[in-house]
Chains A and B, each alone.
Chain A
């Protein structure tokens, strides 16, 4: 059971930043790496284990920052993503965090996040922080940029300020319902961060067919035929354009001189 308030030297404080993720059979992919990465800058993690059968549960339980895990006996994602997201949100809400970061089990921020994100959270009056997500394509060095894969014009809401007592909803969509509630998408108080997110879901070519089949089936069920975006997963090599990842140079003033928070 998670504690709604965290203890810091005997004084109860709301956790500042909690990560929330849905996980389905991620043990042999990037899960351990991602959890370690998150542990650098979040106060705690909550997860919904969506019917994993590969020992994902063990990896989750071994993470020292894990506050709570809810396990679905049968996977909900293939049925309705909206339900899964709602389930995760409800779990996260029990922790009553100040902020939530909604990452997937195969995503990591670039290194700057550990210093800059906590600073941003303390000092902004925005409701949402949006980031660009870079889809690494068949490698861990290059990301895809053709067509709708181009990360440069797109920002996705990933970090949100949580308000206790407010009602939040996810659209009742079977797929692509987004990872933060609908209420945040209408907020004018968005901060667009220059910190980038690296998505490794497409980094291993072995995953492509499985994911393509999943999305293709969904498209046919919902729309009657596969969408161009889904089809582009299997695009011929000649039409796929990638760019090399350029490492961020760390800023020459990493510390803004703030106090360490209690964890």
Chain B
């Protein structure tokens, strides 16, 4: 006896042509959401952009594709339309990213906001005129007002909506991202030589994630502190970036560049003293930050997006302006002050429990049971 059939629309989690996954943590989020829906007795199917293939991502959970070639004003009306035609026989609908609910939302539906992604100058450049910007905003408003509930991974987005679209806030629900605390606790730490201090940048090598600032700071500090290791773990947005990073690392002793599957990054984090999240924009409640916290790292995070929902400056991490100077000062401070590192790391581990997977599941369950019944 099934609770009903849920159709979930996303852009592209699974890309057979082999491109980089756009959102990183979104795949994990999607899998856990699917598992939760299954546990509540729903049938689940996913829909995304593609050319006709389909794949099973969990037993009984199929990913099907829909055609879409254009994304005007950062919306994909083609995909929205195709979804309506193909998934019309389902009972419940989830728009995995908010803008996918434009121009029409099926009934009843929930959409998910993974954070503000329009808060950097490059985004502005994609909308050349004031008229373009107004059109983008208009479409976003329509997308947000369609579903019955919008689940937001941070309060920064909810607050932005409150400050921009009066009256839309009432349909928002704050459910921060999760970390599987039990899994992190059970992870064996990777090896580390005694006396070393391990600093990790566990993000993609993109400007918006603060890679340039981090590299600059590592250049200065790796010379000053030979006992410190600087690890850069993540793909670049472009291939040249990865090559340059490899070359840079070869010129600076004590620095390492590589990437690993997510579970193995956890092992490194378990042996890490300081995790750095110096994002400059486009940040929700970063899964990487949560994992670093759960792993007991002293976290240095920028004051961007949902990071302010995770870190209280001086309590379970340090919060900084993402500039070279501030990063340098805070990193050096933590390198020199072991007591502070231990204090912050211990509190980070504790606060991470408030984001434990069962807590996330419970909050989502509440939303599903109130909207999808």
Q: Do A and B come from one complex?
A: yes
8 sample A-B contacts, Cβ–Cβ < 8 Å, listed by A number: A123-B264, A152-B242, A186-B16, A188-B55, A194-B259, A243-B243, A252-B193, A256-B191
A194 and B53 contact, Cβ closer than 8 Å, known pairs A246-B250, A252-B191, A256-B267? no
Contacts of B192 in A (CB 8 A): 252-253
User: How close is B240's CB to chain A, nearest CB, in angstroms?
Assistant: 6
Is A30 located at the chain interface by the 8 A CB criterion? no
In angstroms, Cα B18 to Cα A155, docked, is 9
- B interface vs A, CB < 8 Å? 14-16, 18, 20, 53, 55, 63, 188, 190-193, 196, 229, 235, 239-240, 242-243, 246-247, 249-250, 256, 258-259, 261, 263-264, 267-268, 271
Contacts of B193 in A (CB 8 A): 252
Going nearest first, the 3 A-B pairs with the smallest beta carbon separation are A188-B14, A152-B239, A253-B190
- A interface vs B, CB < 8 Å? 119-120, 123-124, 126, 130, 150, 152-153, 155, 185-192, 194, 243, 246-249, 251-257
Closest residue of chain B to A185 (Cβ to Cβ) is B16
Name the one of A130, A190, A249, A253 contacting B249, with C-beta atoms under 8 angstroms.
A249
Chain A binding surface SS class: loop
In angstroms, Cα B15 to Cα A190, docked, is 9
Closest residue of chain A to B246 (Cβ to Cβ) is A246
Contacts of B53 in A (CB 8 A): 186
Whether A252 contacts B256 by the Cβ 8 Å rule is yes
Interface hub of B192, B196, B246 (most chain A Cβ within 10 A): B246
Whether B243 contacts A188 by the Cβ 8 Å rule is no
Contacts of B55 in A (CB 8 A): 187-188
A255 and B240 contact, Cβ closer than 8 Å, known pairs A123-B264, A246-B246? no
Contacts of A130 in B (CB 8 A): 18
Whether A256 contacts B14 by the Cβ 8 Å rule is no
In angstroms, Cα B189 to Cα A255, docked, is 11
Closest residue of chain B to A112 (Cβ to Cβ) is B258
Closest residue of chain A to B239 (Cβ to Cβ) is A152
Interface hub of A246, A253, A255 (most chain B Cβ within 10 A): A253
Whether B247 contacts A253 by the Cβ 8 Å rule is no
Whether A253 contacts B268 by the Cβ 8 Å rule is yes
Contacts of A188 in B (CB 8 A): 14-16, 55, 63
Whether B264 contacts A119 by the Cβ 8 Å rule is yes
Contacts of B261 in A (CB 8 A): 120, 123-124, 126, 191
In angstroms, Cα B265 to Cα A120, docked, is 12
In angstroms, Cα B20 to Cα A191, docked, is 10
Interface hub of A123, A188, A191 (most chain B Cβ within 10 A): A188
User: How close is A246's CB to chain B, nearest CB, in angstroms?
Assistant: 5
Whether A153 contacts B250 by the Cβ 8 Å rule is no
User: How close is B63's CB to chain A, nearest CB, in angstroms?
Assistant: 8
In angstroms, Cα B295 to Cα A136, docked, is 41
A249 and B188 contact, Cβ closer than 8 Å, known pairs A124-B261, A186-B53? no
